[in-house]
Amino acid sequence: MSANNSIPRMRGIKQAIEEVKQADPESAVTVYWLRRAIKQGLVPCVFAGGKQLIPMSALYAYLENPTPPKPTHAPSGTIRMISAR
């Protein structure tokens, strides 16, 4: 493997939070927040053997430039499709 090819730093949820807290002890980021961010698709993860691995570069990129989550339901005042059974 050459020096140009680097392996992405992947961490489990708790280890990712610990690394963020080491970089910024006053950080308000929690395990609960990270799990919700993954579930909402805000922070990517890889499932490996029952664990969720987070690429730290993606987590830091999101923390530097957060984007609001996309709504999961139709806004009020709009017509929604009713599914047929």
Q: Which pLDDT band, with edges at 50, 70 and 90, does 72 fall under?
A: low
Identify whether the C-beta of residue 22 lies closer than 8 Å to the C-beta of residue 29: no
The ranges assigned to domains in the chain are: 10-64
Residues 6 or more apart whose CB falls under 8 angstroms from that of 46 comprise 10, 52, 53, 55
- Mean pLDDT over 50-71 rounds to 88
Identify whether the C-beta of residue 37 lies closer than 8 Å to the C-beta of residue 51: no
**What is this structure's pTM?**
0.71
To which H or E segment does residue 47 belong?
strand 46-48
Alpha carbon distance 28, 14 (integer Å) = 14
Bridge partners, 47 (sequence order): 52
Task: For 12-56, write each residue's pLDDT tens digit.
Answer: 999 999 999 999 999 999 999 999 999 988 999 999 988 999 999
